[in-house]
C-alpha cells in the first residue's frame, strides 16, 4: 500500500502536544516566591502614598486584573489559570482575619499571598495558580 502520510488531525504520542501532558514539569510549576515578588512590586507601585477613600477605590478594583495580567505575562505558565482576590481596607489599628479553602491538586496547584499596608490602608492580595488539565 503506499506510504503513510502524517495526518495533522491525528498527532502521534511523541509530538509535543498538550493533549498528552498530564502534569506540569518541575520547572513549569507555579512558584509562589516569584509570584509574591511580582504582586508586592505591583501593590507598592499602585498603593504607595495613597490614603483610604472609598469613593476612589472602585478604580482600584482593577488591581486584581492588573495582578492577574502581570502574572500571565511574566510567569509564562500557559497551562495555568490565575485567580486573584484583593481585599482593601482602611488602616485604623483594628485587626482582620480571613481564610479560604480550596480543593485542588497539591502537586500542581499553589497560591501566593501578599499583605501590604501603609499608615492609612491595608491590602491583602491572594493569587491562585491552578493547572489546567
User: pLDDT tens digits for 39-95?
Assistant: 999 999 999 988 888 887 776 778 999 999 999 999 999 899 999 999 888 888 888
* % of the chain at pLDDT higher than 90: 49
φ/ψ of residue 62, rounded to 5: -70, 0
- Torsion angle in degrees (nearest 10) through CA of 35, 77, 108, 85: 50
- Ranges of beta strands (E only) in the chain are 80-90, 110-117, 121-131
With cut-offs at 50, 70 and 90, classify the pLDDT of residue 17. Answer: low
Total domains, the chain: 1
Q: Is the Cβ–Cβ distance between 115 and 123 less than 8 Å?
A: yes
Task: Look at residue 69 and tell me if it is in a domain.
Answer: yes
For residue 9, pLDDT beyond 60 = no
What is the domain range of residue 55? 25-131
Task: Look at residue 8 and tell me if it is in a domain.
Answer: no
CATH number of the domain residue 74 falls in? 3.30.1140.40
Q: Which residue has the higher pLDDT, 90 or 10?
A: 90
Amino acid at each position: 500500500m503506499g506510504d503513510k502520510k502524517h495526518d495533522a488531525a491525528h498527532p502521534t504520542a511523541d509530538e509535543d502536544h498538550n493533549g498528552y501532558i498530564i502534569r506540569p514539569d518541575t520547572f513549569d510549576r507555579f512558584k509562589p516566591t516569584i509570584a509574591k515578588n511580582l504582586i508586592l512590586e505591583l501593590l507598592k507601585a499602585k498603593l504607595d502614598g495613597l490614603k483610604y477613600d472609598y469613593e476612589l477605590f472602585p478604580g482600584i478594583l482593577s488591581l486584581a486584573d492588573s495582578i492577574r495580567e502581570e502574572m500571565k505575562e511574566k510567569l509564562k505558565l500557559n497551562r495555568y489559570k490565575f485567580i486573584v482576590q484583593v481585599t482593601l481596607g482602611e488602616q485604623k489599628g483594628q485587626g482582620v482575619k480571613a481564610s479560604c479553602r480550596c480543593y485542588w491538586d497539591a502537586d500542581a496547584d499553589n497560591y501566593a499571598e501578599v499583605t501590604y499596608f501603609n499608615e492609612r490602608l491595608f491590602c491583602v492580595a491572594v493569587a491562585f495558580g491552578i493547572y489546567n488539565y
